[in-house]
Structure 1
Amino acid sequence: MDRRKLRVGIVCPYSFDAPGGVQFHIRDLAEALMEQGHHVSVLAPADEGTEIPDYITSGGKALPIKYNGSVARLTFGPRAAGRVRRWLKEGQFDILHLHEPMTPSLSMLALWNARGPIVGTFHTALIRSRALQFVYPMVRPSLEKFSARIAVSEDARRTLIDHLGGDAIVIPNGVYVDAFASAQPDDRWTGTKEAPTIAFLGRLDEPRKGLQVLTAAIPGVLKRFPGARFLVAGRGDEGKALALETLGELASSVEFLGGISDEEKAALLSSVDLYIAPQTGGESFGIVLVEAMSAGAVVVASNLGAFERVLDYGRAGFMFTNGDGDDLARQIILALENPEARAAKAAAATEFVQQFDWSQVTAKVLTVYEMVLSASAALGQVEVDSSQQVREAS
């Protein structure tokens, strides 16, 4: 017997004008759900001229605001609230999925205005957050609206428990593993034994992304491997200028690629010998590590808790002491000098990343939807058919 598919509304707090990990997660989740026949609509900030997929509705222009140690582009206020209410009314969603609802943007507005089954996904991982402490009184009365809460990692779950109380189901970020595994290397970025290529990807102006840590490691690596090439992808003129000034004459070994497309990122990660993740904090998961592992690049990462878990505590990659450029250099040299160890970690990574494939992650999200809709049906909030549809899809 055919069942109607679910109508899922997903809200993103951050603008698609400058997309990052949360936006990409929401985009991929929406498309994975649509591939299974569900109707999905995403509400997100976006300027008028921003190119966005048809399934995304713009929640209005975003403003850059310092938030949680970064600069986030958010949308808030009466006009945004009106857009949220209109989108909710027109959507008639079976389930509403809010990402980062503690961020003062569209997800918070949707939480205030929505009724019915609501799932929240929390991405942030911080030991202390003044921003969360500030907004908590604004959303505390609405927290009971959540039918289920998801955290993308144990670190995000701990942040949620510490700041809001309650608990959450851990469902990791997803990656289309096969897309990265099948990406073709680019000759411009492929290394040799004498001239290995080492990649970094991130916002160059944001200190917690760790470009300064990699910069500190470069001289030590070049002493052992004079032909090594460092490929730095990402935007940020100030970060680039500081790195060039710090490196001096060694700057010729660094190539700044600027912003790159998804296709270029996959090609870059499939081409290089090592991918460096020198982030110093504020990371709840490490999606680019999973992308690099899927593409076959061996990862060298700081020993943040989130990164340790993604690298299976060093079995699937090399770890260095957070913030220590000298230790990063030692680990890079160790990896480059030991091709057998590199191959073993690459093989372990290929196996380990399968759990992060969107086929696995989407099934887990749909299971949460099933639980929520079943509970809501028992309370008379939705039709019983809705939970049955999710069971068939998953």
Structure 2
Amino acid sequence: MRVGMVCPYTWDVPGGVMAHVRDLSEALIEDGHQVSVIAPAGEDTPLPFYVTSAGRAVPVPYNGSVARLAFGFLSAGRVRRWLAEGRFDVLHVHEPAVPSVGLLACWAARGPIVATFHASFPRSRALSVSAPVLQTALEKITGRIAVSDAARKTLVEHVGGDAVLIPNGVTVNRYAEAEPLPGWGPDGGVLGFLGRMDESRKGLPVLLDAFTRLAPERPALRLLIAGPGDADEVLSKVPAALRDRVGVLGMVSEEDKVRAYHSVDVFCAPNTGGESFGIVLAEAMAAGATILASDIPAFRKVLGDGKAGALFTTGDPASLAAGAAALLDDPARRADLSAEARLAVRAYDWSTVARDVVRVYETVTAGTTGVEADDPPRPREAPGWLAGTGARVRDTVRSRLGGAS
């Protein structure tokens, strides 16, 4: 099957949706399907052979984070050309409601379209201001997937319609075995974090507070942090006497990310909200890490209500500190959670998840002739946010999406 895959977020910066698109595409290719991905990317960004750049991304506040999106006439032209040349059997768009490449692809395509909805949020001004544009694009979708109950709920409440539930995937074998990073554990005293350090909803400040509470009583306790962000800013939030016990790696390669999971005794996921699944948990589970996560609904479900990983009260440093101390002092409990995590994560392996996605493809493509580039709209029909370039577009979209959550 020829699959056109659309990622709305830049390929330059790691993220949950981008990783989902990458791993699903590679799983499909391994199973013999032909896959082409289009995504925002800088002109000098190294791209896999199956990825086409839709143009440079610009940062936009979205859903409590800063999303890097591509929009405008340059991206629209590249999307239309990619569609025309691809001769796809099915178009698979991720996050079509986000004002980026996915929305452009829905608008430009005709034929079987599958959409995957990842995000979870209680309200969205972005969807309100974009409603007329979204309607013209989303009505073309013939198959809908949600990665979690939370994402499905958001879809039903904000967009309408329903979706089949297919969770995020993880390439389990990629994470199963790795050597620890030099100088790190696991040695009975290492806490770990992986995520965007400068994104408040990832919860790093909660973990830093908990570490500061525990460290004075535990001279061997250390904290390993990996992910995009300013290392100096992070260290400035730690008392000077404890800074030499905090390792900040910054953005790491895929290989070192796997090694990081194997370098800690307790992997902490202190996210405060806005997560519909938690791919970082699935990765840590695949590595057999002992997990301590905030008890947001998405994390609670992935961890089986605490069976495959311990939970603490969301946003509460004292609860995190108590949970971490209990796990560090109980190696047998850590071993039990690790074993349960390795078992539970098998349900999320791409070998299983990709087959479920293909079944959706087969359903929507039955009796169709494939995907074609639709006739371009007349100028007066063009979405308002597509009417400028450069700083003008960036400022317009920011003003519309600023504070969206």
Q: Does the pair score TM above 0.5?
A: yes
1:368 pairs with one of 345, 348, 360: 360
Indicate if the aligned counterparts of 2:212 and 2:238 stay in contact, CA closer than 8 A.
no
- TM-aligned CA deviation for residue 117 of structure 1: 0.4
Work out the CA distance in 2 between the residues paired with 1:200 and 1:162. Answer: 33
Which residue number in structure 2 is paired with residue 389 of structure 1?
none
> Residue type matched to 1:50 in 2?
T
Output aligned runs, 1:91-106, within 5 Å: 91-106=86-101
- Residue of structure 1 in register with 2:396 after alignment: none
Q: Is the 8 A contact 1:215 1:243 kept in 2?
A: no
Aligned to 1:332: 324
Structure 2 CA distance, aligned partners of 1:151 and 1:271? Answer: 33
Given candidates 192, 197, 215, the residue that maps to 2:208 is 215
For 1:339 and 1:54, how far apart are their aligned partners in 2?
44
Matched, 1:70 2:83: no
Within 5 Å, give how 1:338-377 maps onto structure 2.
338-374=330-366, 377=367
For 1:98-154, what per-residue CA distance to the aligned partner results, in whole angstroms no more than 9, with x for missing partners? 001111111001101101100000111111222222223311133221111111111
Moved more, 94-103 or 180-189: 180-189
Query: Under a length normalisation based on structure 1, what TM-score does the superposition of the two structures give?
Result: 0.91
Residue 154 of structure 1: which of 141, 149, 152 is its match? 149
- Equivalent pair of 1:11/1:42 in contact (CA under 8 Å): yes
Structure 1 residue ranges without an equivalent (≥5): 1-5, 384-394
Q: Which residue of 1 aligns with 2:114?
A: 119
Aligned length: 370
| Alignment correspondent of 1:107 | 102
Contact in 1 for aligned 2:103/2:137 (Cα 8 Å):
no
Q: Which moved more, 1:342-351 or 1:116-125?
A: 342-351
Task: Kindly state the Cα deviation for residue 246 of structure 1 after the two structures are TM-superposed.
Answer: 4.2
TM-score (norm 2): 0.88
* Structure with greater helix percent: 1
Pairing partner for 1:199 from 192, 197, 202: 192
Which sits farther off after the overlay, 251-260 or 178-187?
178-187
Distance in 1 between residues matched to 2:234 and 2:27, nearest whole Å: 40
Higher relative contact order (CA 8 A, sep 6+): 2
Q: Are 2:300 and 1:300 aligned?
A: no
Q: Do the aligned partners of residues 365 and 240 (structure 1) sit closer, same or farther apart at CA in structure 2, a change above 3 Å counting?
A: farther
In structure 2, runs of 5+ residues without a counterpart are 371-405
Helix, strand or coil at the partner of 1:86: helix
SS in 2 for 1:226: coil
CA RMSD of aligned residues (A): 1.4
Aligned to 1:15: 10
**Amino acid across the alignment from 1:382:** T
> Displacement of 1:342 after TM fit?
1.5
Aligned to 1:55: 50
Judged with a 3 Å threshold, the aligned counterparts in structure 2 of structure 1 residues 198 and 241 are, in CA distance, closer, same or farther, namely same
Does the Cα contact within 8 Å between 1:95 and 1:116 map onto a contact in 2?
yes
Counterpart of 2:222? 229
* C-alpha distance in structure 1 between counterparts of 2:64 and 2:172, whole Å: 30
Structure 1 residue runs of 4+, over 3 Å off? Answer: none
